[in-house]
């Protein structure tokens, strides 16, 4: 007998994009993203008034961390802004650096912001029917610039791991903010990068 | 500067499911699948009468074969039958065995038939909005049981490679045939497996 996981099939709910069967669900509220948005005063003001909105949810079908296995995750990123900044996911490098990831857009639209440790930046659009390839050594953050939920399926090695700390420490080199009702990528005054 | 491929984004054509930008296109006609369908006489009869239909097309966005990179491919599997057997892809094991693959259904519907070298079999449905996980060491063949084209996106390690020969030699342990206008999985009289 071969070892390892069995094949499986899962449907994505046509209305929500969420896998009809998933194993783990994570909910990230504003308080979980303390230190990630640029306007800390705005964040603390909201939290101080008892407002702690859900920013995103992740529905995972993980495999044990092991070379050669793939995990699946569906991210539902809510629409909204923190100050001028659109809602985003924390963003992370893979802890195991030579690993890729693929996003398949299911609902809504936004930007996948990518960045290398030496500060190169690539903002790529993602919408339903779009695909984004994240090569090794590119941190990635999803940003919802739309009016509805942004939903996408991620496929990644089960042993890729997450390095959130580098992003929390240095930020991304760019911020995606609303200016005149439109998204605009601006230089992050405190972030590193080119 | 980090080495390696750059991030990219690609849209899938809403009508066809085919990536709007792809690098390689492969067309597999009946003659390319000689020896794969169970009814050889039927195949040779068609070819002898000058009939050589397209069975499937593959639109690839490959990366160089290198650990940690992912390639993308969109397969368009035409509807039809060769004798009683529905049109299918050749099917293959990965040459690099501890590698996975994920299929995301885009159009139509059919069956992904999976099999291990020790003969375990798993038939999984795939349709638009469905996802199939192919773990390491499971051969996989796509079979179109629908009336229209079956289209899906595959995500796989760029160094996974293809072992078609094992399948050509031994076949799958099951055949998917039409019986009374419905798909039915039957034991392959010449295939190995349980």
Residue ranges and CATH numbers for the domains of chain A are 24-187 (2.60.120.10)
Give phi and psi for A46, each to the nearest 5: -60, -50
Indicate if the pLDDT at residue A3 is higher than 80.
no
Q: Which residues of A touch B71 (CB under 8 A)?
A: none
For residue A36, the distance in angstroms to the closest alpha carbon of chain B comes to 23
Q: Mapping DSSP to helix (H, G, I), strand (E, B) and coil, where does residue A44 land?
A: helix
Indicate if the pLDDT at residue B178 is higher than 90.
yes
Query: How is residue B173 annotated by DSSP?
Result: S
Indicate if the pLDDT at residue B22 is higher than 70.
yes
Average pLDDT for chain A: 94
Task: Name the token pair of B121.
Answer: 């079999």
Which residue in B has a C-alpha nearest to residue A15's C-alpha? B129
B175 alpha-carbon distance from chain centroid:
14
At residue B129, the pLDDT reads 95
Strand residues in B62-190 grouped as ranges (E): 70-77, 81-82, 85-86, 101-107, 109-115, 121-127, 130-134, 139-144, 150-157, 174-179, 182-187
For residue B188, the distance in angstroms to the closest alpha carbon of chain A comes to 21
Q: Which residues of B touch A132 (CB under 8 A)?
A: 7-9
Q: Which residues of A touch B153 (CB under 8 A)?
A: 104, 131
For residue A179, the distance in angstroms to the closest alpha carbon of chain B comes to 25
Q: What is the interface pTM, i.e. ipTM, of the complex? A: 0.95
Residue-wise pLDDT for A106-129, tens only, equals 999 999 999 999 989 999 999 999
> Counting one residue from A and one from B, how many pairs have CB atoms under 8 Å apart?
140
């Amino acid at each position: 007998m071969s070892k390892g996981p069995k094949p499986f099939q899962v449907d994505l709910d046509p209305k929500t994009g969420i896998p009809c069967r998933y194993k783990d669900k994570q909910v990230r509220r504003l308080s979980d993203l303390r230190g990630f948005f640029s306007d800390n005063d705005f964040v603390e003001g909201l939290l101080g008034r008892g407002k702690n909105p859900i920013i995103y949810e992740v529905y995972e079908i993980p495999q044990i961390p092991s070379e050669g296995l793939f995990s699946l995750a569906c991210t539902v990123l809510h629409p909204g802004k923190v100050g001028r900044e659109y809602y985003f996911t924390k963003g992370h490098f893979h802890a195991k650096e030579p690993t890729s990831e693929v996003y398949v857009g299911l609902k809504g639209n936004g930007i996948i912001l990518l960045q290398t440790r030496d500060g190169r930046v690539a903002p790529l659009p993602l919408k339903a029917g779009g695909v984004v390839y994240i090569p090794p050594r590119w941190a990635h953050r999803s940003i919802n610039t739309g009016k509805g939920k942004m939903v996408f399926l991620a496929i990644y090695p089960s042993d890729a791991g997450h390095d959130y700390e580098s992003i929390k420490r240095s930020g991304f080199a760019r911020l995606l903010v609303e200016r005149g009702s439109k998204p605009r990528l601006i230089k992050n005054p405190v972030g590193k990068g080119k």
